[in-house]
């Protein structure tokens, strides 16, 4: 199933270092050394490009939320199937900076590479490379490059290259390119990779070149968005412009004097009509690039370091005793920061902005796996992620009508702009639990922040409008139980079943929350309640109907085995023949027809086990242990979402060894490429699962209303660990060591508290009342 990890990098806790450009690892390293800021994503290909063998590179630049759309073609169609796909575009490549020594082009794979190091500094947010190279004719140069994608301005990135002739004088030419002749990766046999594109997605409207400034103005063929990709080159000598089709070049030629460095800096911007009127795009691009050149690369790098210093002050997780693991955790946290949209219009795709896997779509991964990381480490990003769901509420209402629900809202399973893009409904649209997942994240946000303003303005309406869907698909059966039939839970190896446990349990919590919110609004904020009720056309009896459905919810349980059944039919199916399934046949989805998998008792990922975590207070420890034992035996973990959840629950039920093993599968999943597909982009949800593994797994953190509860344990291989969390305006540090656990309030009321027992409860509203749980 998951292959043993291969250590690819020296265990530097704050840095990723590559010591040679290797065709065998280049495709993977393009992902690992990618830079992003939540909007722009740039894969880690060098400025001069890559001349290695075919299939060893997939260069790409991506803009979170900028997409093209195409009709979905079904050989046999049916009512309300998703009609249009949206896919993130590979936009013009602006990284190009080619170096010529007289008539020889610099290429690390030609000539002789005398020294080489490339590093990604997680504290400064700069990708840096230093090398010495000798050309086939014997000319030697030293090259130093820096690259930054700016966190403090989502439209801006910058590159700097310094070249020093070491043993010759002659002519040095630096050619900066803006290349619009790019295409998206086309899907093959793996449904997780690429897009079903029918051709070039961007049409050229105009090209601009003057005084080192170059810009391509393009428009998507179907979605109708305009994109301006622009560069400004700051280099010695005269910059000469040229154009060949969709490729714009700015070249400077200077005398190469032995021992004297030549520096060229390139500032790059991307602006689209999703953010600004089309008429403003070019002026905004030029103004931003002029400002960046005035500031200079060093100033941009300093601002980047300042932004990251504040991030690590809030989010740093420290592991005492394992530098390899420490590197993995910080690498994951850094990539999460690079991936998260923070403008209320964009979200987090399954691969972030590092690759085209899953077409740049947003899933439930955000709410269940990624959202808690930002909620407790950078709450303003968590709020922006919820604002994205608010922006999609009208589209969710339209989707509900398409699905024959006369009222309510149904959020799409996979989307970019809000419309359902899942062409395979058994493992897509049928996952109605997306509504409960979003409501769950809203409840977490309100509990952790106390942000009643956002609740009144947006959150309550989302929660109540989505709660209506459960009464639309559920019903009371002949035994008086509220049942929800023909849905798919988190486990995508089990589709279209009755009473998926996770779905029913999360729907129950959703309905209870919606009814409680309605009651609170009516009592405390009657004007807001009246406004929301009017907007929803809420009927007087609906909140009570939600309470009634929640109270009668059918939650399948097998008395003989003492476990919660994944659904009404799961235990009656034949177990998958794990013993006789070859290792190369995993993941199963690539080797067996879905119907073959659906007929068996086999799980792709955590399902009931995930419910044990999210709704922890509703289960006893013995129930959790029995459920864990049963479902572990039938789970392949073919999904990257699985191992972290099994790790957390294993830690809670006392399986320390399993907890650690599952945690390690998650912590370095991308650095060690354990799933074999990181070349197509990082696994953002699994990256967030690493933080969950520390805080909720080993730290035992659980939420209960406005209270956080901790029950820390110390893995045998660690000397200690620390993490920080935000709660109601306070920043709390949890430090665990062999001598005990220390809770320290870093920000907020001047309170310090130490406790060496097994558990603690913290209520930030009255922190002086902290007590052992």
How far CA 757 is from CA of 183, 317, 772, in Å, comes to 58, 22, 8
Q: Is 757:745 a contact under the CB 8 Å cutoff?
A: no
CA 197 to CA 187: how far, in whole Å? 8
Identify the three-state secondary structure at position 725: strand
Q: What is the longest distance spanned by two Cα atoms in the chain?
A: 91
Selection from 334, 375, 326 nearest residue 682 by Cα: 334
Identify the three-state secondary structure at position 607: coil
- Residue 116 has a CB neighbour count (10 Å cut-off) of 16
Measured at the CA of 268, the angle between CA 264 and CA 273, to 5 degrees, comes to: 165
**Residues pairing with 762 in the sheet:** 708
Host H or E run for residue 330: helix 323-339
Which residue in this structure is represented by tokens 């989307």?
Answer: 415
- Residue 86 has a CB neighbour count (10 Å cut-off) of 26
Identify the three-state secondary structure at position 131: strand
User: Would you give the end-to-end CA distance of the chain in angstroms?
Assistant: 39
Helices (H), 392-500: 393-402, 433-449, 452-454, 460-473
CA 288 to CA 268: how far, in whole Å? 9
Q: Is 385:371 a contact under the CB 8 Å cutoff?
A: yes
Half-sphere exposure of 397 (CA within 13 A, CB side): 14
Q: Which residues contact 772 (CB under 8 A, 6 or more apart)?
A: 755, 757, 759, 760, 761
- Residue 521 has a CB neighbour count (10 Å cut-off) of 24
Host H or E run for residue 493: none
- Residue 316 has a CB neighbour count (10 Å cut-off) of 16
Tokens found for residue 737: 């060591």
**Residues pairing with 602 in the sheet:** none
CA 463 to CA 466: how far, in whole Å? 5
Q: Which residues contact 580 (CB under 8 A, 6 or more apart)?
A: none
Residue 184 φ then ψ, to 5°: -80, 155
Strands (E), 435-547: 474-476, 482-484
Identify the three-state secondary structure at position 42: strand
Q: Is 269:230 a contact under the CB 8 Å cutoff?
A: yes
Catalytic positions: 492
- Residue 358 has a CB neighbour count (10 Å cut-off) of 22
**Residues pairing with 228 in the sheet:** 217, 271
Q: Is 136:152 a contact under the CB 8 Å cutoff?
A: no
**Residues pairing with 319 in the sheet:** 721
Strands (E), 235-301: 239-244, 247-256, 262-272
């Amino acid at each position: 199933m998951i292959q043993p990890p291969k250590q690819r990098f020296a265990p530097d806790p704050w840095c990723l270092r590559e010591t040679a450009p290797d065709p065998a690892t280049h495709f993977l390293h393009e992902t690992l050394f990618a830079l992003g800021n939540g909007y722009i994503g740039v894969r880690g290909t060098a400025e001069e490009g890559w001349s290695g063998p075919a299939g060893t590179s997939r260069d790409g630049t991506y803009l979170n939320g900028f997409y093209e759309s195409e009709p979905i073609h079904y050989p046999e169609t049916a009512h309300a199937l998703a009609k249009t796909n949206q896919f993130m575009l590979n936009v013009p490549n602006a990284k190009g900076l080619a170096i010529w020594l007289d008539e020889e082009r610099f290429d690390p794979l030609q000539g002789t590479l005398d020294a080489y190091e490339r590093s990604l500094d997680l504290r400064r947010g700069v990708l840096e490379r230093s090398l010495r190279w000798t050309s086939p004719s014997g000319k030697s140069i030293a090259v130093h490059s820096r690259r930054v994608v700016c966190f403090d301005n989502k439209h801006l990135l910058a590159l700097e290259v310094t070249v020093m002739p070491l043993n010759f004088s002659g002519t040095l030419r630096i050619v900066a390119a803006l290349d619009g002749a790019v295409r998206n990766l086309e899907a093959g046999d793996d449904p997780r990779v690429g897009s079903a594109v029918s051709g070039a997605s961007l049409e050229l409207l105009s090209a601009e070149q003057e005084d080192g400034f170059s810009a391509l103005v393009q428009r998507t063929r179907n979605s109708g968005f305009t994109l301006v990709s622009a560069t400004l080159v700051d280099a010695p000598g005269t910059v000469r412009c040229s154009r060949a089709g969709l490729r714009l070049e700015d070249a400077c030629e200077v005398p190469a004097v032995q021992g004297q460095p030549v520096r060229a800096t390139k500032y790059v911007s991307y602006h689209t009509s999703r953010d600004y009127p089309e008429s403003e795009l070019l002026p905004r691009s030029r103004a931003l690039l002029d400002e960046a050149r005035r500031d200079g690369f060093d100033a941009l790098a300093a601002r980047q370091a300042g932004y990251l210093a504040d991030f690590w002050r809030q989010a740093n997780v420290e592991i005492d005793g394992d530098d390899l693991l420490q590197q993995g955790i910080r690498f994951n946290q850094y990539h999460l920061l690079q991936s998260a949209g923070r403008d209320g219009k964009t979200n987090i795709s399954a691969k972030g902005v590092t690759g085209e896997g899953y077409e740049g779509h947003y899933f439930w991964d955000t709410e269940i796996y990624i959202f808690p990381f930002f909620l407790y480490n950078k709450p303003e990003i968590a709020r922006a992620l919820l604002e994205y769901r608010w922006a999609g509420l009208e589209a969710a209402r339209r989707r509900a009508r398409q699905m024959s629900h006369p009222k309510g809202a149904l959020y799409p399973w996979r989307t970019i702009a809000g419309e359902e893009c899942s062409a395979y409904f058994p493992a897509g649209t049928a996952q109605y639990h997306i509504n409960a997942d979003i409501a769950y994240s809203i409840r977490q946000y309100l509990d952790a922040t106390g942000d009643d303003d956002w609740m009144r303005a947006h959150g309550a309406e989302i929660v109540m409008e989505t709660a209506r869907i459960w009464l639309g698909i559920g019903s009371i059966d002949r035994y008086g139980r509220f049942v929800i039939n023909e849905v798919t839970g988190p486990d995508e190896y089990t589709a279209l079943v009755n009473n998926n446990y996770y779905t029913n349990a999360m729907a129950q919590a959703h309905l209870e929350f919606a009814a409680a919110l309605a009651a609170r609004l009516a009592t405390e904020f009657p004007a807001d309640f009246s406004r929301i009720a009017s907007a929803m056309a809420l009927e007087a009896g609906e909140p009570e109907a939600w309470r009634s459905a929640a109270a009668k919810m059918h939650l399948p349980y097998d008395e003989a085995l003492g476990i919660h059944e994944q659904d009404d039919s799961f235990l009656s199916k034949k177990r998958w023949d794990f013993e006789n399934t070859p290792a190369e046949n995993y993941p199963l989805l690539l080797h067996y027809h879905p119907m073959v998998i659906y007929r068996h008792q086999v799980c792709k990922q955590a399902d009931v086990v995930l419910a044990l975590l999210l709704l922890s207070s509703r289960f006893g420890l013995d129930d959790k242990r029995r459920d864990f034992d049963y479902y572990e035996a039938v789970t392949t973990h073919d999904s990257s979402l699985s191992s972290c959840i099994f790790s957390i629950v294993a830690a809670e039920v006392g399986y320390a060894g399993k907890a650690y093993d599952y945690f390690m599968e998650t912590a370095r999943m991308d650095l060690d490429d354990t799933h074999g597909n990181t070349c197509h982009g990082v696994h953002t949800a699994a990256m967030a699962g690493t933080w969950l593994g520390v805080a909720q797994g080993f730290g035992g953190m659980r939420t209960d209303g406005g209270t956080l509860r901790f029950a820390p344990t110390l893995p045998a291989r660690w000397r200690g660990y620390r993490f920080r969390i935000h709660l109601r305006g306070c920043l709390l540090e949890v430090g665990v060591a062999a001598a005990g656990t220390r809770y320290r309030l870093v920000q907020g009321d001047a309170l310090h508290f130490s406790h060496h027992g097994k558990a603690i409860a913290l209520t930030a509203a009255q922190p002086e009342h902290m007590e052992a749980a």
